[in-house]
A and B are shown apart, each in its own frame.
Chain A
Amino acid sequence: MSATITEKIFSGRCAREVVAGDVMMAPIDAAMIHDITGPLAIDKFMEMGGTTVFDPAKVILLFDHQVPADSIPAAQNHVMMRRFAEEQGILNYDVHEGVCHQVAVEKGRVLPGDIVVGSDSHTCTYGAVGAFATGIGSTDMGFALRFGALYFRIPESIRAEAAGAFAPRVGAKDLVLSIIGDLGADGATYKAVEFTGPAMEAMDIPGRMTCCNMAIEMGGKAGIVPPDATTHAYLASIGARTTRKEDLTPDDDATYAAWKDYDVTDLVPQVAVPHNVDNVVDVTDVAGIPVNQVFIGSCTNGRYDDFLEAAEVLGDETFSPDVRVIIVPASRTEYLRTLRAGLIERFVEAGAIVEGPSCGPCMGGAFGLLAPGEVSLSTSNRNFRGRQGSTEAEVYLCSPATAAASAIHGVITDPREVA
């Protein structure tokens, strides 16, 4: 029978035909916890009578939101989770590796066809390698750690088919912002978003991660790109390998809640304006707005490819002295690649502050907070009121190219206008 990727993944793992709307207790292939939601998940695990986790090798554990510890309670949470990891025999990446979603993928902990849960809403990022991955709360995570399974209602899917090829300085972030603008912040609630079409096929894994990462910003339960040769080449490059044989290509005649056709050929750089991610406009509509802070990083856009894009726009220029440019690689691996390519040196020379791999200012926790009245331009995924500090500050979201162009001029700038 014709099926969506989600239906194929669950059918594969449940050894029977599964369709959207089915409710089932499904086994999980990996469970991710970090320093913010992990302690509560561990408490819940224990409250449920848990003594040993279902499979230590399937638990991804690290600290990324408040690293190095930015407060005494954060430090205590780290201590508590370190102890748990040690007792349970779970590999602990601690503060060493970076942002959970980047680390989970680049360490090969998530594979095509896997069912993965994470106690973080952007767990949907792992759909970039063809997994069904979704964010859950801490009590659900306690259950998952204890039993290695969780209740799922198999979601309907929205097919987002992207044709065409991107113009220079336009890319994955612009595409996903335009899709969110089209579908709205709740346009995909309870649904999986399948990103398909020639533009997605031509996109590499970092770009696919950017798209899947933001599926939650349209309410999606998951974002998924069909695994293909690019996926397998990426997995090979990180030394990961899947033994699953099933075909995970969605059938065109599967039942979709909606089918949306996009063409990226004429797409221009997109910006989400305060205070909702679906307030999306062309960069030309907001060009000239002064910014106080530019953040390039996060699980959405903190990879080498993103920094390369920013560096290409930067060229030999310097950043505006009126702007605090904060650059935070999403992982140690991406940091090293960026460093070795000389980009970090270029950014620092141009006036940026470069911080170690972490969530950084993305959620207004650790550092880089905004004062009332300040404006931030950010390559991250949320611009909610108060997300990066004061509720009277404003956050605009954009691509690394737009962020770099704007950081040079101190005002929101169309990256296509920078030579």
Chain B
Amino acid sequence: MRVWKFGDDIDTDAIIPGRFLTIYESAELATHAFEGTRDDFAREAKEGDIIVGGRNFGCGSSREHAPLAIKGAGITVVVARSFARIFYRNCINTGVLPVICPDADTIREGDTVEIFPEKGCLTANGVRHDIEPVPAFMQKIITAGGLVEYAHAIEELELCTK
């Protein structure tokens, strides 16, 4: 799977510029993904490709359009050294797996990456790197298939007040 490599502090305005926020359809959003900052992405990204970022990936606005645009491009895994909080949560909720990898900076554009969540690692061109486990409560949502599916699955809300 081809790696699209990005740097630190990639913000959601770069992932999907504000002028496209009236679009909600992920395939259509994908045609504008990284428009103006990385124009080859929308043209060439393929199903199964992986985005690798540096620190603080997805910072900025709460727009869920950002993971949707990425997902629309056929990408379901984003690896980064660290993620901005809202983006991380939005990924999980929309079915994009955010993978925290402290060695993300060593992965290069065009590398082939495979993810092994159950083993707590990924490989980049055959070299093994540790990845952080997803918190247990997030795991429940992922297992359900996303927050929408999770909402359907719960019978009673386990409120903290109970």
A363 and B18 form a contact (CB under 8 A)? yes
Chain A residues, Cβ within 8 Å of B62: 37, 119-121, 123, 135-137
In the complex, what residues of B have CB within 8 A of residue A189's CB?
A: 56, 82, 84-85
A40–B36 alpha-carbon span in the complex (Å): 25
- Closest CB in chain B relative to A370 CB, distance in Å: 12
A50 to B90 alpha-carbon distance, docked (Å): 20
B23-A139 in contact (CB<8A): no
User: Within the complex, what minimum Cβ distance (angstroms) separates B131 from chain A?
Assistant: 17
Q: Are A121 and B151 in contact, CB atoms less than 8 angstroms apart?
A: no
- CB B89 to nearest CB in A, in angstroms, measures 6
Residue interface mask B150-162, A partner, CB < 8 A = 1? 0110000111110
Q: Which residues of B contact A18 (CB under 8 A)?
A: 160
Of A25, A66, A190, A386, which is within 8 A of B160 by CB? A25
Within the complex, the shortest CB–CB distance from A199 to chain B, in Å, comes to 27
Q: Is the C-beta of B72 less than 8 angstroms from some C-beta in chain A?
A: no
B61 in contact with A391 (CB, 8 Å): no
B56-96, CB under 8 A of A: which get 1 and which 0? 10011111110000000000000000101110011001100
With a cutoff of 8 Å between Cβ atoms, the chain A residues found around residue B86 in the complex are: 121, 135-137
- Which residues of A in the span 180-214 have a Cβ within 8 Å of any Cβ on B? 185-186, 189-190
Interface size on B, residues (CB 8 A): 43
CB-contacts of A19-67 with B (<8 A): 23-27, 36-37, 39-40, 43-44, 47-49, 65-66
- The answer to the question of A332 belonging to the interface, with a C-beta cut-off of 8 Å to chain B, is no
Q: Is the CB of B59 within 8 A of A185?
A: yes
Chain B, residues 135-162, CB within 8 Å of chain A (1/0): the string is 1110000000011100110000111110
Q: Are B148 and A47 in contact (CB under 8 A)?
A: yes
* CB <8 Å contact, A27 and B161: yes
A40 to B135, CA, bound (A): 26
Q: Is A49 within 8 A of B17, CB to CB?
A: no
Establish whether residues B159 and A27, one from each chain, have CB atoms under 8 Å apart when the complex forms: yes
**Assuming the A-B contacts A47-B148, A386-B13, are A15 and B161 also in contact, with contact meaning beta carbons closer than 8 angstroms in the complex?**
yes
CB < 8 Å neighbour of B93 from A24, A120, A140, A382: A140
- Contact across chains for A142 and B148 when beta carbons are under 8 A apart: yes
With beta carbons under 8 angstroms apart, the residue of B64, B137, B147 that contacts A143 is B147
Are A23 and B135 within 8 A (Cβ)? Answer: yes
8 Å CB contacts to B: which residues of A242-276? 276
Q: A37-B62, A137-B86, A385-B37 are in contact. Are A49 and B161 (CB under 8 A)?
A: no
Which one of A86-94, A105-113, A147-155, A287-295 is at the interface? A147-155
* CB atoms of B160 and A14 under 8 A apart: yes
Are B24's CB and A40's CB within 8 A?
Answer: yes
* A84 in contact (CB, < 8 A): no
For B66, give the chain A residue with the smallest CB separation: A137
Q: Residue among A139, A143, A153, A387 with the most chain B CB within 10 A?
A: A139
**Does B137 contact A43, Cβ atoms closer than 8 Å?**
no
Give the interface centre of A13, A77, A137 by most chain B CB atoms within 10 Å: A137
Given contacts A40-B64, A48-B148, A139-B147, contact A26 B21 (CB under 8 A): no
Instruction: Report the bound CA distance from A48 to B90 in whole Å.
Output: 16
Question: Nearest Cβ in chain B — how far from A108, in angstroms?
Answer: 24
Q: Is the CB of B148 within 8 A of A185?
A: no
Given A136-B86, A189-B85, A153 contacting B135 (CB threshold 8 A): yes
Contact A49 B151 (CB under 8 A): yes
List the B side residues contacting A382 at CB < 8 Å.
11, 13, 60-61
What distance in Å separates the Cβ of A59 from its nearest Cβ neighbour in chain B?
17
Question: Does any Cβ of B come within 8 Å of A221's Cβ?
Answer: yes
Interface residues of A in 132-183 (CB under 8 A from B): 135-140, 142-143, 146-147, 149, 151, 153
User: Would you call A71 an interface residue if the criterion is a C-beta within 8 Å of the partner chain's C-beta atoms?
Assistant: yes
Contact pick for B36, options A139, A276, A391, CB 8 Å: A391
By a CB distance below 8 angstroms, the chain A residues around B151 are: 48-49, 142-143, 146-147
Q: Which of B19, B22, B86, B161 has most chain A Cβ within 10 Å?
A: B22
Q: Is residue A351 contacting chain B, with contact meaning CB distance below 8 A? A: no
Q: How far apart are the CA atoms of A120 and B61 in the complex, in Å?
A: 7
Given A121-B86, A190-B85, A387-B13, A139 contacting B93 (CB threshold 8 A): yes
> Chain A 375-416, CB within 8 Å of chain B: the 1/0 string?
000000010111100110000000000000000000000000
Q: Which residues of chain A are near B18, meaning CB under 8 Å? A: 363-365, 387
Bound CA span A387–B15, Å: 11
Q: Which residues of A contact B137 (CB under 8 A)?
A: 23, 151, 153
Q: Check if A185 sits within 8 Å of B56, measured CB to CB.
A: yes
Asked whether A73 is an interface residue with its Cβ less than 8 Å from the other chain, the reply is: yes
A-B contact pairs, 5 of them (CB 8 A): A14-B161, A27-B160, A137-B86, A185-B56, A219-B59
